[in-house]
Amino acid sequence: MDALLLNEYIGIASAALSGFFFAVKKECDWLGIFIAAFLTALGGGIMRDVLVGRPVYSFTHYMPVVLVISMMLLAIFLKLYKKRQHLEDKFIFIFTDAIDVVSFSIVGSIVSLQYGYNIFGVVLVAFANGVGGGILRDVLLNEVPWLLRTGLYGSISMAIGFIYYFMHMAGFTNMTCVMALFTFGIIFRMVAYYKKWHLPTLKEDI
């Protein structure tokens, strides 16, 4: 399995879990839970494929939807949905969310480079792939998008695209280098969340 598919599948599995947790918190029925998990796991990839102009991967391959359904059934079997109050503060949610945003950002970077995009295109596609599913999940479930209220979420996604572009230019795109970037992104995201790092804001003088 190459770096593209590995990161794609890791991202889908973890994103499906975060969508599942959110839908359970909102007391959705089975269909609502599936839709939330589906959009979280596959929404960013759909945006990516539309941006690069290729057939949507999730609709031309079976594995993505199989992974979403499998993660839902596993979460139900293991009763991971129990005691999900204050979900946003739970380590399991924050960690799975970090995994999917970093994984999908890497995938978006790889795909956009395959289609000859420049650095701006790579960063944009990485961002859309990385946070698109989470935005769709939050809008669907009437939440303020996670992107807008947590430490460096979107910024890390764009940074991954930026770093991967130069890794590609330097020829450092083997599995070891990609997984090193993956690990760095997750650690950075977790530290940013718990340290409450965020970009500066503009304040109007009174």
Q: Where in the sequence is the domain holding 134, given as residue range(s)?
A: 3-195
Number of domains in the chain: 1
Is position 200 within any domain?
no
Is position 203 within any domain?
no
DSSP track, 118-158: -HHHHHHHHHHHHHHHHHHHHHHTT---GGGTSTTHHHHHH
| Rounded Cα gap, residues 189 and 193, in angstroms | 6
Is position 123 within any domain?
yes
Amino acid 52: pLDDT? 95
Which residues of the chain fall short of a pLDDT of 70? 1, 81-89, 149-151, 202, 204-206
Q: What is the pLDDT of residues 85-116, one digit of tens each?
A: 555 567 777 888 888 899 999 999 999 999 99
Place of tokens 């003088």: 205
Distance from CA of residue 205 to its chain's centroid? 36
